Structure 1
Amino acid sequence: MGDAQQTAALSGQIVQLDGLDGQLIERMRHEALTAPAPWKAEYGEFQSGGWWTTSLMNASGDAADVRITDGTARPTALLRHMPATAGLLDELGLNYMWVRLARLEANAFLWEHRDYDELDQVERHRLHIPLHTKSSAFLVTGGTKVHMAGGRIWRLTPTYAHGVCNLLGPDRIHLIADVYGDDAYQQLAGRTKEPSAAERLPAASEADLAERLAAARCLADLGYVDAAEQLLLRLFYSFALPEGTAYDLIATLHTALGDIEANQRWTAAKSKLLALVS
């Protein structure tokens, strides 16, 4: 894919919106790192472990309620400990569905997936504000690696297959706001900028995939089945792959191992995580 094609493809998936004041970001970062947040592990089927969230605004008003649903968001008690963050959310004037902090630990992965498929089909958008991050934390979407740098609001379209990893640390902390489409959102969305540091991942050859599958089989034969599965899942972050390839490879691995139940489980996981119609 050429640079122009890559930019066009990415523009529907991830873009930068407004820049934010550096001092405000510092205050928000301090709040995120020090507020008494009830971090919760949720969506275990999407991750390797190390993904934690806590809610700032949602329909229940409970910061420990982190399973995303449609609704009219109201502040949780946690947001009262974060005045700079609350001030920015108020200033943006958006129609919030859910606002949360998301923390991804070092050597942690969110596997390839889509979001929003389980919600009512109304216009909604996902905004990211990076608060604490380094370049070893990045998003992959459309076979392209993007580090969401601090200092700006980012818009991600999560109905495209995507995944996130944090290879080295420190913990990546983002404020994530799911918002409904309205005039305030349209005004914000009218000021877009393409990602400044997007890197197209290399295509995987049949030999590349065969080599990784053989390595996974060796691990599985030694009894390290989880490690074998994770080796294949991580291919999504190294190569530009056809959608769902990592899940197909794991299913193939289990077929070779004679484990039909595991093959069926991973085939079902692919359909669930990527919202595929059978």
Structure 2
Amino acid sequence: MHSYNEESSKNYLSAISRLKLLEEGTSKIISDEIEAANLDWRNFSYSEYVSQGVYSLSLLSSDGDGSNTLIKDCKPKPTEVLNKLPKTAEILNNLGLDFMWARLNLLGPNACLWEHRDYSELDNREKLRLHIPVKTNDNAYLILEGKKVHLHKDGLWKLNPADFVHGAVNEGEDRIHIVLDCYVNDNLRNLIKDEYLDESWLADLKKPTTADFNDKLINALRLYQGDRKRDAEELLLRTYYHFNHQEGGSLDLVREMYHLLGKKEEVNLWESRKTRFLKQETYENLTAAAV
């Protein structure tokens, strides 16, 4: 019998779940193939959304270019990267999914994706994001709904990135996932029928106090005044991975820092980023940020 709270599990199933177990050793097969291919990792295109240490390559993209990692609706083409990974290509083909895009994402030690929603710049076709953890560690998590979730290897995982604010953090050695953006077809619907989430895979984040956030703001202001602007912003953005924030809370803390500093332009910038990250992004803004 599975040991999880039924109501809690039901609440989170729509956000995150394991769809199926892959054949034992699948993640190692892919990891070994990636290592042997000696890939030329590129900086992540969504630069505003991440810390340093996040890299990506496309396996399927709109134009067949592996360095093109800024996703959009399309019928994708295999890239030169996927051509170097024939075993990985076979594993993906056997899933029977309708891919929009497929990428390798690498998070180095202490790398993060800030809290955000996805797909708001895309069309309204039903789509979901799937993850295959390739190389991971016990200190690599997705964060959502006040919980952290470690995605273990040899599993196909579903994330609903449009309906749930989420982020990712890696506090261990390099973490590599295959990230599959998929249009929902009959095969994916059938996989979802068997989705599963064990309560033991979820860990609560701390509920913050006013003192917790005041302490973070004081430390961020010290960093900023020491000419460490990026470090100050990131200290506040990283609170998302340790505290059960209200939605957008980490972004609000950065905005509050600039309010305390009397920097109106920066306050407006972070108000705009909060809207873009959580509600409505545009492809034009993403393209400009990636240049």
Scaled by the length of structure 1, what TM-score is found?
Answer: 0.94
Q: State the partner residue of 1:85.
A: 88
Work out whether 1:139 is the aligned partner of 2:147: no
| CA distance, structure 2, for counterparts of residue 24 and residue 236 of structure 1 | 32
Q: State the partner residue of 1:70.
A: 73
Structure 1 segments, 4+ long, off by >6 Å, are: none
Q: State the partner residue of 1:31.
A: 33
**Aligned to 1:228, which of 222, 225, 232?**
232
CA offsets, 1:89-120, max 9 Å, x none? 11111111111111111111110011100000
Q: State the partner residue of 1:166.
A: 170
* Percent of residue pairs bearing the same amino acid type: 35
* RMSD, aligned α-carbons: 1.7
Q: Residue type of the partner of 2:240? A: F
What is the number of residues matched between the two proteins?
Answer: 275
Q: Report SS of the residue matched to 1:229.
A: helix
CA offsets, 1:124-149, max 9 Å, x none? 11110000000111110011000111
Q: State the partner residue of 1:210.
A: 214
Q: Residue type of the partner of 1:79? A: L
Q: How does 1:35-184 map to 2 (within 5 A)?
A: 35-41=37-43, 42-159=45-162, 160-169=164-173, 171-184=174-187
User: 1:177: how far off?
Assistant: 0.8
User: Higher mean Cα deviation, 157-166 or 19-28?
Assistant: 19-28
Does the 8 Å CA contact 2:120/2:280 hold for their aligned counterparts? no
Does the 8 Å CA contact 1:113/1:162 hold for their aligned counterparts? yes
Q: State the partner residue of 1:19.
A: 21
| CA distance, structure 1, for counterparts of residue 49 and residue 26 of structure 2 | 32
CA offsets, 1:254-275, max 9 Å, x none? 1111211111111111111112
Work out whether 1:190 is the aligned partner of 2:198: no
| CA distance, structure 2, for counterparts of residue 141 and residue 18 of structure 1 | 21
| CA distance, structure 2, for counterparts of residue 178 and residue 223 of structure 1 | 39
User: 1:36: how far off?
Assistant: 4.5
| CA distance, structure 1, for counterparts of residue 35 and residue 251 of structure 2 | 35
Does the 8 Å CA contact 1:40/1:66 hold for their aligned counterparts? no
Work out whether 1:267 is the aligned partner of 2:261: no
Q: Report SS of the residue matched to 1:178.
A: strand
Q: State the partner residue of 1:6.
A: 8
User: Higher mean Cα deviation, 195-204 or 141-150?
Assistant: 195-204
Q: Residue type of the partner of 1:28? A: I
| CA distance, structure 1, for counterparts of residue 249 and residue 137 of structure 2 | 28
Q: State the partner residue of 1:257.
A: 261
| CA distance, structure 2, for counterparts of residue 60 and residue 67 of structure 1 | 11
User: Higher mean Cα deviation, 120-129 or 16-25?
Assistant: 16-25
| CA distance, structure 2, for counterparts of residue 270 and residue 173 of structure 1 | 27
Q: State the partner residue of 2:223.
A: 219
Does the 8 Å CA contact 1:35/1:82 hold for their aligned counterparts? yes
User: 1:276: how far off?
Assistant: 5.4
User: 1:4: how far off?
Assistant: 4.8
Does the 8 Å CA contact 2:26/2:154 hold for their aligned counterparts? no
Does the 8 Å CA contact 2:140/2:175 hold for their aligned counterparts? yes
| CA distance, structure 2, for counterparts of residue 227 and residue 273 of structure 1 | 20
Q: Residue type of the partner of 1:132? A: K
CA offsets, 1:133-168, max 9 Å, x none? 001111100110001111110000111111101112
Does the 8 Å CA contact 1:138/1:146 hold for their aligned counterparts? yes
CA offsets, 1:190-232, max 9 Å, x none? 2111044110111111121122112222222333222221111
Q: Report SS of the residue matched to 2:152.
A: coil
CA offsets, 1:6-58, max 9 Å, x none? 32331111001111112332211111223243422210000111111111112
